[in-house]
Amino acid sequence: MLRVPLAAAGVIVTVIMGWWLVAYVAAERKLASLQPLPDRGSYSITLDFAPERFHQQRLQEAGRLVEVRDRTVYMMDVAPTALHAIAGQYWVDKVARWEGR
Amino acid sequence: MTALALPALPQRRVLAGRWGKALRGAAGVLLLLVAWQVSVPLVGLSSYFYPSPSDVVASFAELMRKGILPVYFADSMVRYGTGLLAGALLGVAMGVLIGLHRTVAVTLSPLLKFLFAIVEVAWIPIFVVWFGYGFKTIVLALVYVVFFPVLYNTLLGVRTAPQILVNALRSLGASRLQVLRYAILPGALPGIITGLRVGAGFAFRGLVFAEIVAAKTGIGYLIFEGTQTQQTARTIVGMIVMGLTWLAIDLCFLRPVERATIQRWGLTVDAEQRT
């Protein structure tokens, strides 16, 4: 009787788990060349497009947003876990170290 | 031959009926989309005033590519799920309590009637003052919306639970908890489910409004932000996502649970008619 709700719940859980897995793998791949990560670091985060307010707000949650130039956002005081979360986003093209201003 | 062929006929008819219904529904949507697309050059307004279906599709693709729509959708669904669950639990608990205790009913009834008259829209500004913008305010607004339909339907269910079963259990020496567990709650279940379905619908509408007023993410916010930033196509994407999401929730969760509850309680004819 409850096959449909259970199947739908299963699909939702699978999609969420798959999403997390893909994000985790993507983050590992993007951060591979930056290991080991410092406690707090400065990074340039390049997107696939010019960032909108949504992206800037998300990035501000991870650290101090210093500057936005074209498709790249420059950030300071970013913790490794926050950087990992950012790098897992599929709209983040690449992450590189930044020496700061 | 005829005797062998007969049993397959109703099944085939049911399937054909379902497919026919689905096809007719799809044809209606397609017709609307074609009429909409054709009307855009005839009307001659800019996409800000009157975006075409292709603009909406392009906007949807852009929102997906930029990662905005998945995050907004997830935020909205988490708020909706939390509000619905908390509101339903609270509504059922209060409904059972009021239904079983006369003193509690007499004490709380005037207050509940008073609060019921105040729509959630009126509460949102004060929730914003107390809890700020975001999750807490939106969830509280949704709890408020879900609470009353679930409460009143649970109350109705508890009060109309088969008295013969309650008396039978009592005469067999069942405790109050056992009477509640084996007679009152199962008897009230159709009422609870009805309340939940009504509350879920109200909460979905409430979610959009709450996100417009008290959030910086979510589908409701997308609908609002789209017009604010002159990206009307995004607003329409938000509206379509809301509509489709509600259809999916109803089809995958609410309707099957309601049907299962009604079937469990022997009202199969009504359940069949509703599908």
The tens digit of pLDDT for each residue in A1-51 reads 688 999 999 999 999 999 999 999 999 999 998 888 888 899 999 998 999
| Residue range B135-173, pLDDT digits in tens | 999 999 999 999 999 999 999 999 988 888 888 988 998
Confirm or reject contact between A49 and chain B (CB < 8 A).
Answer: yes
Residue B7: pLDDT above 60? no
- B259 contacts on A by Cβ (under 8 Å): 1
**Where do the domains of chain B lie?**
73-274
> Is B234 part of the contact surface with chain A (CB cutoff 8 Å)?
no
- State how far the Cα of B269 lies from the Cα of B105, in Å rounded to an integer: 35
> Looking at this predicted complex, what is its ipTM?
0.91
Contact list in B for residue A54 (CB cut-off 8 A) is 66, 68, 71, 217
Q: Do B66 and A89 touch (CB under 8 A)?
A: no
Cβ–Cβ below 8 Å for B256 and A90? no
Structure letter (DSSP) for residue A66:
E
Res. B265 pLDDT band, cuts 50 70 90 = low
- Cβ of residue B259 closer than 8 Å to a chain A Cβ: yes
Q: Which of B81, B82, B104 is nearest to B93 (CA)?
A: B104
Among B59, B63, B68, the residue to mutate for chain A (most A Cβ within 10 A):
B68
**Token pair for B240:** 């379509």
Which residue in the set B66, B251, B260 is minimally distant from A2, CB to CB?
B260
Confidence (pLDDT) at B162: 83
- Output the CA angle B47-B50-B53, nearest 5 degrees: 85
Per-residue confidence (pLDDT) for residue B267, from 0 to 100: 54
Flag whether pLDDT at A64 surpasses 60: yes
Cβ-count burial of B49 within 10 angstroms (0-12 exposed, 13-18 middle, 19+ buried)? exposed
Inspect the interface and report whether the beta carbons of B71 and A55 lie closer than 8 Å: no
Average pLDDT over every residue of B9-37: 81
Note the pLDDT of residue B18: 74
Q: What is the mean pLDDT of chain B?
A: 88
| Measured distance CA(B56)–CA(B236) in Å, rounded | 7
Instruction: Pick from A22, A54, A55 the residue to mutate for testing the B interface (most B CBs within 10 Å).
Output: A54
Q: Distance, in angstroms, between A91 CA and closest chain B CA?
A: 6
Q: What kind of fold does domain B73-274 have according to CATH?
A: MetI-like fold (1.10.3720)
- Rounded to the nearest angstrom, the minimum Cα separation between A15 and chain B is 12
Question: Which residues of chain A are within 8 Å of residue B71 when distances are taken between CB atoms?
Answer: 54, 58
Query: What is the pLDDT, as a whole number, of residue A80?
Result: 93
Which residue of chain A comes nearest to B216, CA vs CA? A54
Is the predicted pLDDT of residue B180 greater than 50, yes or no?
Answer: yes
Q: Which of B104, B99, B90 minimizes the C-alpha distance to B166?
A: B99
pLDDT-derived band of residue A74, with 50, 70 and 90 as boundaries? very high
pLDDT at B3 over 80: no
Using a CB–CB cutoff of 8 Å, tell me whether B65 touches chain A: yes
Query: B176: burial class by Cβ within 10 Å (0-12, 13-18, 19+)?
Result: exposed
CA dihedral (B111, B135, A16, B71) positive or negative: positive
Bridge partners, residue A78, by sequence: A41
What is the pLDDT, as a whole number, of residue B275? 45
Say how far apart CA A18 and CA A44 lie, in whole Å.
27
Q: What is the pLDDT of residue B234?
A: 95
Which chain A positions have a beta carbon within 8 Å of B84's beta carbon?
A: none
Q: Given pLDDT bands bounded at 50, 70 and 90, which one contains residue B8?
A: low
For B208-240, what is each residue's pLDDT tens digit?
999 998 998 999 999 999 988 889 999 999 999
Q: Residues B33-56: what's their mean pLDDT? A: 90
Q: What is the pLDDT of residues B60-90, one digit of tens each?
A: 999 999 999 999 999 999 999 999 999 999 9
